[in-house]
Amino acid sequence: MKKLVLFLAIIMVAMISYGQKGTVLSITADNVEGNENIYLTTKKLTGTYESVALQTLFTKVSAAAGGTAYIQGSVDGTTYVTLTSTANQFIFFPNDTVTITDGGYMYMISYGSPFTYYRFFIDGDANDTVTITPKYILK
């Protein structure tokens, strides 16, 4: 009976810890102004993570919002690759390449953490100014 109670207690602790939410971390918001490119990078990820989720919100500052957003990953913080939905490890919403609109967003979840760094790459459009507000969760 004691073994059964101990076994059930261990299972309960495992279930509770598995269901815990990760910590929401922020990357400093920035503006993309006109036809410039900006990169918003996470801190170096150390350790092993069950999942990594990244999201960003686009808010127009000028009369219009435009440009394109991508998510990239790197193992060394120097050389980055653009992540796509063709790699079964990543799920994107609404898509792996997003046209920036006012109030638009981009979301990606990775099962596991194959990269040490992630970043948003924003390719701006001429005459548009957009605030990019990114956040990420490590679990």
At residue 11, the 3 state secondary structure works out as helix
The confidence band for 131, taking pLDDT boundaries of 50, 70 and 90, is: very high
CB within 8 Å of 100: residues ≥ 6 apart: 58, 65, 66, 67, 68, 69, 122, 125, 128, 130
Q: Strands (DSSP E) along the chain, which ranges?
A: 23-26, 30-33, 37-41, 51-60, 67-74, 81-82, 90-93, 97-99, 105-111, 117-124, 129-138
**Lowest mean pLDDT: which of 7-16, 26-35, 64-73, 117-126?**
7-16
**Distance, CA of 50 to CA of 18 (rounded, Å):** 10
**Distance, CA of 72 to CA of 79 (rounded, Å):** 10
What CATH code would you report for 22-138? 2.60.120.510
pLDDT tens digits for range 47-105 = 888 889 999 999 999 888 889 999 999 999 999 999 998 877 899 998 899 999 899 99
Tell the residue number behind the tokens 């970043």, with chain if given. 119
The residue ranges of every structural domain in the chain are: 22-138
**Distance, CA of 117 to CA of 29 (rounded, Å):** 17
